[in-house]
Amino acid sequence: MALRQKIAVLIGGVGGAKLALGLANLQPTPQLTFIVNTGDDFWHLGLKICPDIDTLMYTLAGVVDPQLGWGIADDTTCVLAGLRRRYAIDTWFKLGDQDLALHLLRTEAMRGEVSLTDFTSAIARRLGITATILPMCEAEMPTTIHTRDHGEMSFQEYFVRRRWQPVIQRVRYGSRQAASVPAPVREALAKADLVMIAPSNPWLSIAPILAVPGMRELLAAASAPKVAITPVIGGDAVKGPTAKIMRELGLAVSARTVASYYDGVIDGFVDDLRNPHFSMDGLRTTRLDTLMTDLERKVAVAQDTLDWARGWVS
């Protein structure tokens, strides 16, 4: 592999950002490009909000709220308090004041016809991030959740307002009209020495990326090995609704289910030591400790995955 390895990572929010921080702290640091889910993006209070992009940027910039894993550490919530107290607005989506500053700028940029790709790059630079952060596409491709008891709802209605409690019957990935893979994403995939799929939620964070028209074909055409890391450890998700969704969709909660879901996309899978061994035709697997509890563990998971992939490429 190249001296300074080029790694492209398909990634969602809080879970994915743990791996991203590990990769960014490797020595020597690889040339990192994150291709981020924008299926969670939405307009709220007149503002364009990109939760996964922002979580990743705040994490890599070292300003993320360490308890929540999203938002800015020690942020105030004066604007939300004003909305609630003075205007009786239901402030179900938590937005800190400094976080709002970014949404204001992004909304202004979008109105001025700046692309989300260019805006994100400019903000990432401003925040001192050296990795490249790319939205999965420019067109809006909002994820919609079909629930058993409450009909269809937007992603944030399901995820934040209803705290992912409704039972999922089906997930629909954005309207594909006019959506395409942006040129910088194409280039990153074509030039990568390694493509990784972060241990993000396969159904809510990675599937929307794979649903961008042309994305699967580009991945298939990429010469680099493609490796996913399990989000399931010991028969459960580490955090969030991944396991609950699998049960609701009638799937076994296992790493094998995740690997099968990525069938045709990946050629390597990093399972966790705590999971029962499985094998699948045509898929290389390894079992590592993938639990990322602190920075040291995040770096270790990034390094171990790279070492493994290097071993079977060379």
**Applying CB under 6 A, which residues contact ligand GDP?**
12-16, 18, 52, 199-201, 205, 229-231, 233, 237-240, 242, 290-292
Q: Looking at beta carbons, which pairs linking 42-47 to residues 24 or more positions away fall under 8 Å?
A: 42/142, 42/154, 42/155, 42/156, 44/93, 44/95, 44/156, 45/83, 45/95, 46/107, 47/100, 47/103, 47/104, 47/106, 47/107
CB of 19 to ligand GDP, least distance (A): 8
Closest to ligand GDP by CB, 10 vs 116, is 10
The tokens of 217 are what?
């074909």
Closest to ligand GDP by CB, 156 vs 230, is 230
CB of 86 to ligand GDP, least distance (A): 31
CB of 174 to ligand GDP, least distance (A): 16
Pairing between β-strand 226-229 and β-strand 194-197 as defined by DSSP bridges: parallel
In the bound state, the residue with its beta carbon closest to ligand GDP is 15
Cβ(303)–Cβ(2) under 8 Å?
A: no
E-strand stretches of the chain: 6-11, 31-36, 42-44, 47-49, 132-135, 144-147, 151-154, 168-172, 194-197, 226-229, 232-233, 236-237, 268-272, 284-288
Closest to ligand GDP by CB, 31 vs 55, is 55
CB of 52 to ligand GDP, least distance (A): 6
Closest to ligand GDP by CB, 15 vs 109, is 15
Closest to ligand GDP by CB, 56 vs 109, is 56
CB of 162 to ligand GDP, least distance (A): 15
